[in-house]
Copies of this chain bind each other. A is one copy, B any other.
Amino acid sequence: MPIACVNAGNATIESDELSVEEPLEIRVGIPRDGRLVRLSIAVTMRTPGADVELAAGFLFTEGIIRHENEIADIRTTAFNIVLATLEPTARVDPARFDRHSFVSSSCGVCGKRSIAAVFALKRHVLQRGAPRIEAKIIQGLSQTQRAAQTTFERTGGLHAAALFDPAGRLLSLYEDVGRHNALDKLIGSELRAGRVPLEDKLLLLSGRASFELIQKAAMAGIPVVAAVGAPSSLAVSLARQSAMTLLGFVRDGRFNVYADAGRLMEAPAELFSMTAGAFSRANR
C-alpha cells in the first residue's frame, strides 16, 4: 500500500505492507437430542491464517474443552467463521462460554481468584527441575525467532509465539496482530497433533507476558516461558504458583528470572528459593 513517509520535513511516497487484521468468529456445535446446537462463543480480531488452529487453541486454553479428542470436527464453515463440532462425550460447561468468567464471580474479583480459576481448569502439573536448560540456550532464542519471523520485519506489526526444544531448536512459530491469538494458534496446532501437554518445551513470546498469556501456557503444560518484554505482577504470581519458569527481557544476550529458576542449569542456589518458595507461599 502506498503511504507517505515524513522525515525531517520531507515527505516521500513509499510502499508499506500492513499487518492484516480481520474478525474471526468461533462457534461450537454441541450434539443434543439428535441435532446440533450451534453457539457463537467468541469473536477475536486476528490475522487470517491458521484459523482452525486458533479456534482449537482458544477452546483449549480457555478451558472450554479439556482434551483434543473432544473435538469431533473443526473447520471453516464461512468467511471468517470456524465451527468446532464437539463429541457427545464432551462435558461442556456453558458458563465457560463467557470469556469474562475466567476472572468473574458474583462476590467480587481479584488476582487470587483469577489464579484459582486457572488452577480449577488446568489438568497438567509441571514437574519441578525438568527440563534442564542452559542459560546460553535462552540467550539465543530471541535471535532465532527474529530470523524466522519474516512478516514482522516487513510490517513491524505482528506478535509472535515460538516453540523450542530444550536444545534451542525452533519447532514452530505463529504470528498475529494479537499476542493471545499467536499463542492460541501455536497451542492449537500442537493440540491437533496430539502433542499437548508440551512438557519438555520452551515458549518464547515476542512481547510482554500478561496474565492471559501465562494462563494459556499453563493450560498447555509449558514449563518454560521466555518473554522478550516485561511480565506483569499477576503473570509472575501465576507462574510461581504453577512452578513454571518465567523469564523476561530475553534479548541482547541477557534475561531476568521471575519465577522458578530451578530449571536453569547454572542457577545459584539462592535463586531457587527466591523465585519459587517464598513468593509462592506468600501469594497462595
In the complex, what residue of chain B is closest to A212 when comparing beta carbons? B45
Contact B8 A254 (CB under 8 A): yes
Q: Is A73 an interface residue (CB 8 A)?
A: no
Q: Is A171 an interface residue (CB 8 A)?
A: no
Contact A21 B255 (CB under 8 A): no
Q: A6-B254, A100-B43, A271-B11 are in contact. Are A23 and B230 (CB under 8 A)?
A: no
Among B8, B99, B230, which residue has its beta carbon within 8 angstroms of that of A157? B230
Residues of B within 8 A of A231 (CB): 18, 157
Residues of B within 8 A of A108 (CB): 25, 78-81
Among B100, B114, B254, which residue has its beta carbon within 8 angstroms of that of A42? B100
Among B4, B258, B268, which residue has its beta carbon within 8 angstroms of that of A275? B4
Contact A11 B253 (CB under 8 A): no
Among B21, B42, B257, which residue has its beta carbon within 8 angstroms of that of A210? B21
Interface size class of A (residues with CB under 8 A): 35 or more
Q: A43-B103, A100-B42, A103-B43 are in contact. Are A22 and B110 (CB under 8 A)?
A: yes
A95 to chain B, nearest CB (A): 13
Residues of B within 8 A of A212 (CB): 45
Number of copies: 2
Q: A254-B6, A258-B3 are in contact. Are A23 and B156 (CB under 8 A)?
A: no
Interface string of A28-48 (1 = CB under 8 A from B): 000000000000101101000
Among B24, B78, B275, which residue has its beta carbon within 8 angstroms of that of A3? B275
Contact A4 B103 (CB under 8 A): no
Among B18, B99, B109, which residue has its beta carbon within 8 angstroms of that of A81? B109
Q: Is A2 an interface residue (CB 8 A)?
A: yes
Among B114, B229, B266, which residue has its beta carbon within 8 angstroms of that of A11? B266
